[in-house]
Chain A
Amino acid sequence: MEYIHFLEDQMKIDRIKKTSIFYRDSTGMKSIHNSKGAAIEEEVLYTCVTATATAKSGERIESASARKYICGGYEHIREGEDLPLLAAQRALNMLTAHQIKKGKYTAIFDPLLTGTLIHEILGHCAEADLVLQGTSVLKDRLGTVVAPEDISVYDDPSVPLAPVTYQYDDEGVAARKKPIIQNGILSTYLHSLDTASQLCGQPGNARCEDYSFAPLVRMSNTYVSGSMIFEENEGLILRGTLGGEVEPGTGRFFIRPVIGELMKNGNVIKRFNDMIVVGDILETLQSIESVGSDFYIDSGTCEKKGQTIFIGSGGASLRISNVTIIGG
């Protein structure tokens, strides 16, 4: 309780009118046995912290959150002590944000928004059950170029202290890092034992909410990396994520950044809110110009077919051209 109050106290700064901290930890044992010979006992340990701040200036009120989920104990989450300040600063920044004019922009997606693009928009299309259903825009594209050759996207459940860390998936298959896109080429779908047997793939991405559900093909930590590095100090930067949705069959997507910042010489000269980014996933991947030198895996949850699980997403910032942004 002392730690939670300590976190909350960090948000008590000028113009922050309301604060909250959500803390949760859980421990347990996951046991998997099957007729293929798997006999696995794995300790499950989870800690989550979400800080929310509400800022007020005159009649205008804005709220923002920052969160961190890890497969690890409380002692590791102390790294999240900057979360409250991050939430408070985001809320304060939003007080000065205005509507953006609709248009096509070259924009930098920060790692959190990159995470939404990679997880929601690309990653679901790479889930083999959707491919088999015939509803993925990535169907029949294995081995083809889908992004610039310097771009790679991985799904990796072996990252320590990440939002998702496991040694074995929920079908008892050993975890390993998989390249969904490698050097611009669509290299693999994500599989369960069932989909792998149908499409000659590698299983290891079967996850379920808990013992009372059958495992489905799910992502773990999905992130992008590349070698065309830029230094981010100029241009329109889209920060944070309010989420996104995609129509897997067509590739049409809709995502919402928290805030946009127009930067010149390292200074913010204007801020924007209520932005909607729409587009086509394959066109957007091909429009990636360069990759940032930063790296961050954001924490989140994902719901699919009635099951909600934790996921990680992000990687490096991406500079993308021809991004359609609509002001609210």
Chain B
Amino acid sequence: MRVLISNDRIASIEEQYVKGTGFRVFVEGHQGFAYTTDESLKEAAELAWKLAKVSSEDRIIPTPEKYPTVDNLSDPGLENMDVETIFELASAIIEGAAEKKGHIFYGSIEVTDLYHEIVTSYGIHGNFHETLCCAGVDVEVADSFGTQTLYTRKYDSDIFEIGKRAAELASASRNPQKIHGGRMSVILRPAAVSKLFEYALVPSLLADSVDDKTSIFQGKMRERIASDITVIDNGLVKGGIGSRPFDGEGSPCKKTTVIESGFLTSFLYDTTLGAKYGIKSTGNAMRSSFRAVPTLYISNMVVEPGCKTDELIEGTKKGVIINDIMGSFSFNPSTEKFGFEGKNSFLVENGEQIGAVCDITVTGSIKEILLSIVPGDDTEQEGLFRVPSVRMVASVFV
């Protein structure tokens, strides 16, 4: 169920009911795929079989294994969400923004209640139930803008607060000034960290990029690639947005440390690439729905917290704090360079946040910043990322 907010009004409430079956058929190790949303199951399976016979990509089939128990994947408060409850939720968010003199020009709250089941002819069988709430609001306070998003599996007060938080950010971002650019400390808040890592870090940790030789960590296993940080892909986090007992192939999800105290310790594998490199699947064959085949991706990417985030700011002589970014898609794996625009950015001088700044473009090398990155402790769940703020050194252009 989804509610859209526009200009402080509830613009629409939509409900979608989707049910379907996807068939992956293997003929001599070659995969064919088809799906159906009605009862034409035999036809879909036959089509998948025909496609398997003309496919040439070799796939390895996983063997059945016991699945772990993953807690808090669903919440009764989000199950079978009704119109009245989501209406009250949206109204509370609008009121929260208004309390802080904010005007929500766009917002959405989407609640999903899903049942998944996998069955194969080679002994795999599993199912689980999950609920998820994704909410986001764009708020304006006196011509200044702020955005907040929330991903949660719990129906609790956090959802009600996002209007207020977005208005507070918009209010703090008023009257931004231009500053002088240069090389300086850049503190990225969790929302910004997740967007940077999504493009500049995650692809290089997936085994298919290693297979392609496009990973920036090619040939770097067990070498130092970062400062003293630890990064874990953890499909078993209680209530994690990417958590589940099994992946899209039916392999059990796991906890895999990819970077330990700065050293590269693992890539992420599915069954086929795992077999090619002599590694057991790490349970990272992800599937967006029954309409898609599994592809390698992260479950929950967790950056372990470090020092207090307040200490990161207090220890910054000159720099900027950036709450969100645009343009992170522009990462170039060939040159390892990234660039992005900062949104809701603030100047820091001598350990204090001074005021809002505008028109900030940040560039740098992902490898260089990983070697100097310092994590804080204000961890938040941003989509599939559980990350704190981080401080790095980069070039800031204005």
Contact = CB atoms under 8 A, between A and B. Distances in A.
B40 interface: no
Contacts of B7: 132-134
Contacts of B108: 305-306
A249 B326 contact: no
B86 to A, nearest CB: 15
A243 to B, nearest CB: 6
B140 interface: yes
Contacts of A244: 327
A328 B6 contact: no
A182 interface: no
Q: Is the interface of B mostly helix, strand, loop or mixed?
A: strand
Nearest to A56: B213
A278 interface: yes
Nearest to A91: B334
Contacts of A327: 363
A94 B335 CA distance: 11
Given A62-B334, A134-B105, A18 B212 contact: yes
Contacts of A61: 213-214, 334
Contacts of B334: 60-63, 94, 273
A278 B326 contact: no
Nearest to B134: A306
B339 interface: yes
A99 B337 CA distance: 10
A13 interface: no
A214 interface: yes
A276 B54 contact: no
Interface in A291-328: 305-306, 326-328
Interface string B133-174: 000001010000100000000000000000000000000000
A82 interface: no
A67 B282 CA distance: 33
Given A102-B397, A133-B105, A328 B110 contact: no
Contacts of B332: 273-274, 328
A242 B329 contact: yes
A289 interface: no
Interface string A128-163: 010011110000000000000000000000000000
A256 B329 CA distance: 9
Contact of B330 (A18, A129, A242): A242
Nearest to B6: A133
Contact residues on B (Cβ < 8 Å of other chain), bracket: 35 or more
A162 to B, nearest CB: 25
B339 A276 contact: yes
Interface string B198-216: 0000000000000011100
A200 interface: no
Nearest to B14: A214
A305 B14 CA distance: 13
Contacts of A250: 145
A326 B363 contact: yes
A283 interface: no
Contacts of A305: 4, 106, 108
A256 B341 CA distance: 12
A142 to B, nearest CB: 19
B16 A212 contact: yes
Nearest to B365: A328
Contacts of A129: 6
Given A63-B214, A102-B397, A273-B332, A256 B327 contact: yes
Interface residues of A, number: 37
A247 B363 contact: no
Interface string A1-39: 100000000000000001000000000000000000000
Contacts of B213: 61
B343 interface: yes
Most buried by A among B7, B12, B103, B327: B327
Contact of A278 (B14, B105, B343, B361): B361
A41 interface: no
A225 interface: no
A54 interface: yes
Nearest to B103: A134
Nearest to A254: B327
A245 interface: yes
A176 interface: no
A276 B330 contact: yes
Contacts of B16: 212
A62 to B, nearest CB: 5
A18 B212 CA distance: 8
Contacts of B105: 133-135
A214 B4 CA distance: 11
B339 A135 contact: no
A243 B339 CA distance: 13
B12 to A, nearest CB: 6
Contact of A326 (B54, B343, B397): B397
Nearest to A1: B54
A273 B332 CA distance: 9
A327 B6 CA distance: 38
Nearest to B328: A245
B175 to A, nearest CB: 14
29 contacts: A54-B212, A61-B214, A61-B334, A63-B214, A94-B334, A99-B335, A102-B397, A132-B7, A135-B105, A135-B138, A135-B145, A212-B18, A242-B329, A244-B327, A247-B145, A249-B145, A250-B145, A252-B341, A254-B330, A254-B361, A273-B332, A274-B335, A305-B108, A306-B2, A306-B108, A326-B361, A327-B363, A328-B332, A328-B337
Interface of B: 2, 4, 6-7, 12, 14, 16, 18, 54, 103, 105-106, 108, 110, 138, 140, 145, 212-214, 326-327, 329-330, 332, 334-335, 337-341, 343, 359, 361, 363, 397
Given A135-B106, A247-B326, A273-B335, 18 more contacts: A54-B214, A61-B213, A61-B334, A63-B214, A133-B6, A133-B105, A245-B326, A249-B145, A250-B145, A254-B326, A254-B340, A256-B339, A273-B334, A276-B327, A276-B363, A278-B359, A305-B108, A326-B361
